[in-house]
Amino acid sequence: MNGRPISGASTGARGRGGKSFSALILGALLLTVTACGGGGGDGDAKDKDSGKAAAKQSQAVVTIAPKDGAKGVDTGGALKVTAAKGTLSQVRVEDPKGREIAGTITGGGASWTPSTHLAAATTYKVHAVAKDASGLAATADSSFTTLTPKNTFVGVYTPDNGSTVGVGMPFSVRFSRGITHPADVEKAITIKTEPAVEVRGHWFGNDRLDFRPEDYWKPGTKVTVNLNLDGVEGRPGVYGEQARTVSFTIGRSQVSTVDAKAHTMVVKQDGKVVKTLAVTTGKPGYDTWNGQMVISERQVVTRMNGETVGYGGEYDIKDVPHAQRLTDSGTFIHGNYWGGDAFGNYNASHGCVGLRDVKGGYDSSVAAAWFYNHSMLGDVVIVKNSHDATVAPDNGLNGWNMPWDQWIK
């Protein structure tokens, strides 16, 4: 053998300049690692970016009262949102069902307060946004729970939800407790009508609030009442517990005028006379009230006992037919089967308006049956030419006897 290397074998190949191929590859890798490592120059750029972000932070400060997580919060006056070094641009307060509480931003954007009271035993979420002079926004969020009252009140109202009533029917609420904060309670009851008409409330004492328009309702009017009493403080430490909507419709107009002197009643529907009926009213010493009265109760048959109205022992009739109440004090317009020839001739009752009827009220052709069958709750009965005074506005649903300027005081 002559000592030549076998073809294709290598003893450590070298490139030009004496550097090995492996060394070149290692150098390239080191260069790559250095380029991807992020040196001090890049770190300075990040610090500058952080400084810019800090400089862009809003100067506005939002404060929500009550504080986050508060319990037993009062339903009125406790909730308030304020902004310092900026102005409020948005405040949203929601109950657990997502219903928003209306409110007003005041003081040029310095504060927000709710437009109404809050419901009792309810958790609310608050989200507020304020902007500083540069337009940068700051936000705040909070959640709190209102008190659970130990003492409550309710309002018993008329007419019923879904009913159709006559043109004289007010919306009347009688409260289970005397109200000493009437403005707060009245504010919690809102009424909308279609077509629109002004409806105002009037207090009778401290436990009754009636609403009506200036004149009788227009037939066909749809009335919607929102009773937002839940959480309203009606008297110190006593809170409402109702939150419901009541709707009713005004039917055709029926206004009947009783002339106690002529012993007649003229019935008008939608302004036209449809019937003239013979009546008897209160005899001397028991005269029927004058004035505008509204039918507030209807009974096909009822018992009338003089003891319930201060006439003990004078009468006790167990089956008075076709009875319709006109006053709380006991005035009815009703069927009378014992009156003989009094109808149309003389006054013989203890203050009620009597119409001819039969015992048992089975005869639909008699005057009392006709009037009953053509009447509804809320119809108006006007009595004139009686020797008694005008009925008091709070004796029954008879606020129409109060002039409008007094009603709205």
Dihedral class, residue 393 (left if φ above 0, else alpha if ψ from -120 to 50, else beta): alpha
Helix (H, G, I), strand (E, B) or coil at 132: coil
96 CB-near residues (< 8 Å, 6+ apart): 122, 123
Is-above-0.85 flag for pTM?
no
Average pLDDT, integer, range 253-269? 98
- Model pLDDT, residue 52: 52
- Model pLDDT, residue 24: 35
Average pLDDT, integer, range 294-308? 91
- Out of 117, 263, 350, 352, which one is annotated catalytic? 352
- Model pLDDT, residue 307: 77
- Model pLDDT, residue 309: 77
Q: 35 φ, ψ to 5°?
A: -70, -30
Beta bridge partners of 332: 325
Residue 279 is encoded by which pair of tokens?
């009546």
Average pLDDT, integer, range 326-337? 97
Is 352 one of the annotated active-site residues of the chain? Answer: yes
297 CB-near residues (< 8 Å, 6+ apart): 324, 325, 377
Lowest mean pLDDT among 45-59, 340-354, 377-391: 45-59
Average pLDDT, integer, range 78-103? 97
pLDDT at position 350 over 60: yes
405 CB-near residues (< 8 Å, 6+ apart): none
- Model pLDDT, residue 35: 36
- Out of 202, 263, 334, 350, which one is annotated catalytic? 334
**Separation CA 241–CA 238 (nearest Å):** 10
| Tens-digit pLDDT profile for residues 353-371 | 999 999 999 999 999 999 9
CB atoms within 10 A of CB 314: 12
Average pLDDT, integer, range 264-271? 98
Task: Map 61-126 to HEC letters.
Answer: EEEEECCCCCCCECCCCCCEEEEECCEEEEEEEECCCCCECCEEEECCCCEEEECCCCCCCCEEEE
**Separation CA 180–CA 236 (nearest Å):** 8
Sheet with 61-65: list strands edge to edge. 61-65, 80-84, 111-114, 103-106
pLDDT at position 179 over 70: yes
Give me the percent of the chain exceeding a pLDDT of 90.
Answer: 83
- Model pLDDT, residue 310: 77
Confidence of residue 5 (pLDDT cuts 50, 70, 90): very low
- Give yes or no for a contact between 72 and 100, defined as CB atoms under 8 angstroms apart: no
Confidence of residue 305 (pLDDT cuts 50, 70, 90): confident
**Residue 385, CB-side half-sphere exposure with 13 Å CA sphere:** 12
CA distances to 51, 169, 353 from 326, in Å: 81, 12, 10
**Separation CA 69–CA 145 (nearest Å):** 7
> Which value, in Å, is the radius of gyration of the alpha carbons in the chain?
41
- Give yes or no for a contact between 286 and 350, defined as CB atoms under 8 angstroms apart: yes
- Model pLDDT, residue 40: 41
Beta bridge partners of 123: 145
123 CB-near residues (< 8 Å, 6+ apart): 95, 96, 143, 144, 145, 146
**Separation CA 78–CA 142 (nearest Å):** 14
**Separation CA 236–CA 146 (nearest Å):** 16
Which residue matches tokens 């009815």?
332
Average pLDDT, integer, range 378-393? 98
Is 36 one of the annotated active-site residues of the chain? Answer: no
| Tens-digit pLDDT profile for residues 212-223 | 999 999 999 999
Answer with the residue of higher pLDDT: 301 or 34. Answer: 301
Instruction: Name the average pLDDT for the chain.
Output: 89
Domains defined for the chain, CATH in brackets: 61-145 (2.60.40.3780), 151-250 (2.60.40.3710), 254-400 (2.40.440.10)
| Tens-digit pLDDT profile for residues 6-43 | 333 333 333 334 444 344 333 443 334 333 333 344 54
Give me the percent of the chain exceeding a pLDDT of 70.
Answer: 86
Confidence of residue 173 (pLDDT cuts 50, 70, 90): very high
